[in-house]
Amino acid sequence: MTLQVMTGLSSAGNRQGDVVIETTAGEIATELKRQGVNPDERVTVTIEPEPIPGRRESRARVIAAGLTDDDIDRLIKQAQHDVEALLPG
C-alpha cells in the first residue's frame, strides 16, 4: 500500500512537501506518527491495484471461514509437501 502524506498548501494553493511512503495497512497509523503527522491533519491513502486479481476477495472469504494467516501458511506448506511427494526423483 502506498501512503501519500500531503503536508499543506503553498500560498499559491499548490501542494508542498508530499511524501510517498510504502507501508502495510496495519502500519499506517504508526508510520504517520513516526513522520510527525498531527492526528487531525488530512492525508491521502492510495491503494495500489492487486498484483494477483481476486486476492483481496479470496482473503475476505478465508477470514470469514475463521482461518488465520497461520492456518493458511500451514495449508500451503502441506499442499507443497503433498505435491513434492508425487514428483519423481
Q: What is the pLDDT of residues 8-27, one digit of tens each?
A: 544 444 445 667 778 888 88
pLDDT of residue 60: 84
- Does the pTM of the predicted model rise above 0.75? no
pLDDT of residue 78: 93
Q: Are 46 and 4 in contact (CB under 8 A)?
A: yes
Surface-to-core class of residue 85, CB atoms within 10 Å of its CB (0-12 exposed, 13-18 middle, 19+ buried): exposed
> Among positive and negative, which fits the CA dihedral 58, 64, 25, 3?
positive
